[in-house]
Chain A
Amino acid sequence: MSDAAATMAQGRQRLELSALSAPAVIFTVAMIAFPVVYTIWLGFQSFSNTGKQSFAGLANYSKLISDNEFWHGLWVTIALYVLSLVLQLVFGIWLALILFHAKRLPGIVRSLFISPFMMPPVVAGMMWLVILDPSLGAANYILQSLGLPPSEWLASPTWVIPTVALIDSWQWTPYVALIVLGGLQSLPSSVYEAAQIDGASAFKTFQRITLPLLLPTIVTAAILRSVDLLRFFDIIYITTQGGPGNASNTLNIYGFRVGFEFFNIGYASALMLTLTAIVLGAVLAFNRLRGAVAW
């Protein structure tokens, strides 16, 4: 093949690859460009609290800096994020390995194992609210039957974040497991055969071979969970609405309440954009990591 022909073929290939991702890119831009621009504009508006609009410059953003509730919300968001992500990744990998080795498990049972995240988060929130009710719930009933002290769960300012993280992990660990399982299944079997011949122990095989090969999948799962966890909403919206006090008032809950319960659309827009920037930062960081661990 001549050089010119090779360049032409490469150009054609590049064009084809762009054409493949074009629909997704165009669609996304069409759907999110206007909302983002509109929200940025709203963020510069003051709605006083009468709903009357006026240009406010950076007033909403300077309010944000001096707003204790914002900084508290940021702290709650991060605490909940780190706790939930760690729980879900650790148990997700564990569950994926269990399911991977349980090959004879009937399909229907297997799909029951991954069922929690199929439940609408709203419904899961309602369900756990009933189960964890300190006076009426089954959870304390079981604890007391076992002779253990009851807990206030969602009603305790100390325990509300761990409890919410547990609920979320119950729901989303199987999701992480499913993604990791997909990664496990696509691992080339040759590496295992080589390891078996070498006589490596199961744990060593996992640590030395499986885990590194799985890293891209795990990072993907972490990215997908991060975008949801940093915008933590549904379960808190249903169970505590940010309480007790403001102990579970995440940024997303706070922004939502400012906009749709207190009707201050301008300040809510500033809050939501700030949160979006935080999520974007986290995703970009993870993406660098993804590049580093790809194989």
Chain B
Amino acid sequence: MMDAPTTDRWIRCLNLLQLVLAGIIIMTPTVWMVLSSFKPSFEVTAYPPTLIFSPTMENYLQLTRTTPFVSYAVNSLIVTIGSTALGLLFGVPAAFAVSWTRISWPAILTLAARMAPGTLFLLPWYVMFRQVGMIGSYTALILSHAVITLPIVIWVLLPSFDSIPRSVFEAAQVDGCSVTRILWRIALPLVASGVAVAAILAFVFSWNYFLFALVLSNGDTKTLIAAAFNFIGEGSTQWGALMAAATLIALPPLILAALVQRWLVSGLTLGAVKG
């Protein structure tokens, strides 16, 4: 039998190997996409694939030149932040209540909206929001996207709340804390990393969703992702611009994840075993 330090080194080596392998598989396509966004448009589909090329900003310049890219991005931010906030506002208390009572139908109900194909909602929502004159408004878009964010928040937080030992709550109750107070003062800080994950996921899903904006927005409130399709039409396919748009679209969720990640890491060292 090997002595302990050798086994340790072996395990560490194995871990590193797996990490590198996973990293290559995961990141190669994305790196390829980012590289492509700096290629001249026609070189994106060149064969054999070009690895060495003179990078150009042309695709990015073209984006800003031919589309109101910035105002689309602002629209997307408003809708995404609005719907993520709404999802957290409604979702956090609901997840807590479901976890506490073990009565799961409210969680299932909120998920119901995601069980139906998105296309099912297009016509009815259009009719509904038109009735109240809200087609093209941010409100309609935020409300529709909150239907996506709400179940994510609830379902991601459920296991986190579940994992808090009951004794913690019981002790607080004995001290005379109300349920709401327990949620805000005791439970929420304990699931902070879960909330961060839920927020990122809600943000990403809302940011990337295009179908609802297709019928509920208008020219002024169109979101970035709904506009991204315009680069793949007949007679106007621009691979370079598409890759540049894709890179820029993927950027905000990535930045957000990187920012919150630090917090996640600190949460991790607090909660888990050391070494």
Contact = CB atoms under 8 A, between A and B. Distances in A.
- Do A and B interact directly, with beta carbons closer than 8 Å? yes
Interface of A: 12-13, 16-18, 20-21, 23-25, 27-29, 31-32, 34-36, 38-39, 42, 94-95, 98, 100-103, 105, 107-124, 126-128, 130-131, 133, 135-136, 138, 141, 170, 174-175, 178-179, 182-189, 192-193, 202, 216-217, 220, 223-224, 227-228, 231, 233, 252, 255-256, 259-260, 265, 268-269, 272-273, 275-276, 279-280, 283-284, 287, 290-291, 294-295
A141 B119 contact: no
Contacts of B210: 120, 122
Given A116-B26, A193-B273, A102 B15 contact: yes
B186 interface: no
A184 B261 contact: no
Interface in B241-275: 242-243, 245-246, 249-250, 253-254, 257-258, 261-262, 264-265, 267-269, 271-273
A36 B113 CA distance: 10
Contact of A284 (B108, B120, B207): B108
Given A24-B90, A38-B123, A184 B272 contact: yes
Contacts of A228: 114
Contact of B116 (A126, A182, A185, A276): A276
Contact of A255 (B29, B119, B121): B119
Given A36-B116, A284-B108, 15 more contacts: A20-B96, A21-B98, A23-B90, A24-B110, A28-B113, A34-B128, A105-B19, A120-B228, A127-B32, A187-B163, A224-B152, A273-B120, A287-B104, A287-B108, A291-B104
A27 B228 contact: no
A115 B19 contact: no
B124 interface: yes
Contact of A186 (B26, B124, B143, B163): B163
Contacts of B117: 231, 233, 252, 255-256, 272, 275-276
Interface string B201-218: 100100110100000000
B81 interface: no
Interface string B93-118: 11011101110101011111111111
Contact of B115 (A122, A188, A279): A279
Interface in B60-118: 89-91, 93-94, 96-98, 100-102, 104, 106, 108-118
Interface residues of B, number: 103
Contacts of A29: 109
B23 interface: yes
B97 A31 contact: no
Main secondary structure of the interface of A (DSSP, over half): helix
Interface in B36-76: 44-45, 47-49
B261 A107 contact: yes
B19 A123 contact: no
Given A113-B23, A280-B112, A120 B208 contact: yes
Contacts of A252: 117, 119
Given A20-B93, A24-B91, A131-B29, A187 B272 contact: yes
A82 to B, nearest CB: 18
Contacts of B119: 252, 255-256, 259-260, 268, 272
Contacts of A283: 108, 111, 115
Contact of B45 (A17, A27, A130): A130
Contacts of A128: 29
A32 B113 CA distance: 6
15 contacts: A17-B97, A21-B93, A24-B90, A27-B90, A28-B109, A28-B110, A98-B15, A114-B257, A136-B45, A179-B197, A202-B11, A224-B152, A227-B111, A252-B119, A280-B112
Given A23-B89, A287-B108, A280 B29 contact: no
B171 interface: no
